Amino acid sequence: MTRFHNKLHADKTGRELFVEAALDAAGSVDNGFRFRDAGALFVGNFTSDVFEGQGHTAAVMADWLGVNPVPAYRIEDACASSGAALNLGVMAIASGMTDAVIVGGVEKMSRLTTDQVTDALALAADSSYETSVGFTFPAIYAAIASAYFNKYGTGWDQLAAVTIKNHRNGALNPKAQFQSEIASIAQKLGERDGRTFKDEMEFLWSDFNPTIASPLRLFDCCPVSDGAAAVILAADEVARRYTDTPVKIAGMGQASDTIALHSRPDFTTLRAAVKASEDAYKMAGATPKDIQVADVHDCFTIAEVVATEDLGFFPKGQGGRAAEEGRTALNGEIPINPDGGLKAKGHPVGATGAAMAYEIFKQLRGQAGKHQVQGAETGLAHNVGAAGASVTVQVFRRG
């Protein structure tokens, strides 16, 4: 994957970022992989149409990779676009049409202003009944947070704990957009000693962290990012030609839910995440207890809390407390977002699902560097489109 960033890639187009990620993927294959070994290309992308004035995105990427005439498919499921692309890549191989494919994701968002990006992202919500009345994603996830606090009697401190944990992880990840702990941000701004968790919490409660959509503050929201990520998928017997230590997609699921939040009986759970994970666990013959590392979709901090419950890691209403207690930290019982998550790693939306697969691949092979989860053999990726109208889950196993 490329580094995720909002300024670093100012001079690069989406196609350039995608090629950089695909070269990294091919170069990571122990015994080498030529792009032409792939029988198809799947590209997850939300809206290069709006972000870059370029559609027909998969054909552009196929051309720039030099893989013509290989068929190229752009998959769009909002922020779950490359999670969905990954599942379709698996199906293409399982169908017998091909035995190896390139799956990637890309988004070049920073050409637009933050206001324009918010509007562009709102295309993923319901244009008829949500965005047309100003209900964009910060507000949608704020409604989820409010409902959650109300139902479980919890509060914003638990979300701040997620922020602190993800920034701590991001500081260890050279691919992350933000590589600063909240402590050092506080120190830089000269406002706090910023040495302890308590200092960090105080900083996040201060005016330096303004409200975006109550109860969500600036540091509850993932940033605007440019970036790309890619993986090579191959049939089991073919993968062993390329490496002695492949990572297997042992199970996968995808589910949909109503596009509008207001159509759902309960805001404090994403039904599609529950269904997609049930399907993935079943296919993998696994349970939540088997998962040793997970990348979950924390576009907003509340989303991580809800995800860790929907995926079965914690009972409903206890995901926030678990974060507060350090149970999801890098050295916790179930490390969540060791790469910093969307919050600190960044969220070039169409690239995120592929970047999660990248992270879990590195983790299960013991190549995650400073943010390595020791000894992890089974991992999970959870990629969400909009407020859960599309969710994909994959269970990965080493070997």
Contact 183, 193 (CB under 8 A): no
According to DSSP, the residues that pair with 366 across neighbouring strands are none
14 to 43: interface string for a second copy, x by CB under 8 A: -x-------------------------x--
If the CB atoms of residues 8 and 70 are measured against a second copy, the closer one turns out to be: 70
- Which one from 5, 9, 297, 347 is the annotated catalytic residue? 347
Q: Exposed, middle or buried by CB within 10 Å (0-12, 13-18, 19+), for 60?
A: buried
The smaller minimum CB distance to a second copy, of residues 219 and 281, is found at: 281
Tell which positions 113-132 bind a second copy, by CB under 8 A: 123-128, 131
Least CB distance to a second copy at residue 251 (A): 12
Burial status of residue 64 (CB atoms within 10 A of its CB: 0-12, 13-18, 19 or more): middle
Question: Which residue of 255, 294, 356, 373 would you call a contact of a second copy, by CB under 8 A?
Answer: 255
Contacts of 328 (CB under 8 A, 6+ apart): 162, 165, 308, 313, 322, 334, 335, 336, 337
Task: For a second copy, give the closer residue by CB, 113 or 263.
Answer: 263
| Nearest C-alpha neighbor of 247 from the set 376, 340, 335 | 376
User: Which of 71, 215, 317, 326 is in the footprint of a second copy by CB under 8 A?
Assistant: 71
Instruction: Decide: is 57 part of the binding site for a second copy (CB under 8 A).
Output: yes
Q: How far is the CB of 318 from a second copy (least distance, A)?
A: 24
Residue 105 backbone phi and psi in degrees, to 5 = -145, 155
Q: Compare residues 218 and 283 and give the one whose CB is closer to a second copy.
A: 283
CB of 312 to a second copy, least distance (A): 17
Which span (4-12, 224-232, 252-260, 291-299) binds a second copy, by CB under 8 A? Answer: 252-260
In the shown chain, the binding pattern of residues 73 to 92 toward a second copy, with x for contact by CB under 8 A and - for none, equals xxxxxx-----x--xx-xxx
Q: Is 347 a catalytic residue?
A: yes
Taking the least distance from each CB to a second copy, the nearer of 58 and 323 is 58
Name which of 119 and 377 has its Cβ closer to a second copy.
Answer: 119
HSE toward the beta carbon, residue 393, CA cutoff 13 A: 33
Select which of 79, 221, 222, 299 is catalytic: 79
Q: Please give the Cα distance from 365 to 248 (Å, whole number).
A: 11
| Closest distance of CB 58 from a second copy, Å | 6
User: How many positions of this chain bind a second copy (CB under 8 A)?
Assistant: 64
Angle in degrees, 0-180, between the axes of helices 301-310 and 271-284, rounded to the nearest 10: 50
| Shortest distance (Å) from residue 347 CB to a second copy | 16
Give me the least distance between CB of 19 and a second copy, in Å please. Answer: 13
Q: Which residues contact 277 (CB under 8 A, 6 or more apart)?
A: 253, 288, 310, 311, 312, 380, 382, 393
Task: Please tell me what DSSP assigns to residue 392.
Answer: E
Q: Which is nearer to a second copy, 264 or 321 (CB)?
A: 264
Exposure string (b/e) for 294-332, b if CB count within 10 Å is 16 or more?
bbbbbbbbbbbbbbbbbbebbeeebbbbbbbeebbbbee
Length of the chain counted residue by residue: 399
> In the annotation, is 299 catalytic?
no
Binding residues for a second copy, rule: CB under 8 A, are 13, 15, 41, 46-47, 49-50, 52-60, 62-63, 67-78, 84, 87-88, 90-97, 123-128, 131, 254-260, 263, 271-272, 275-276, 385-386, 389-390
Catalytic center residues: 79, 347
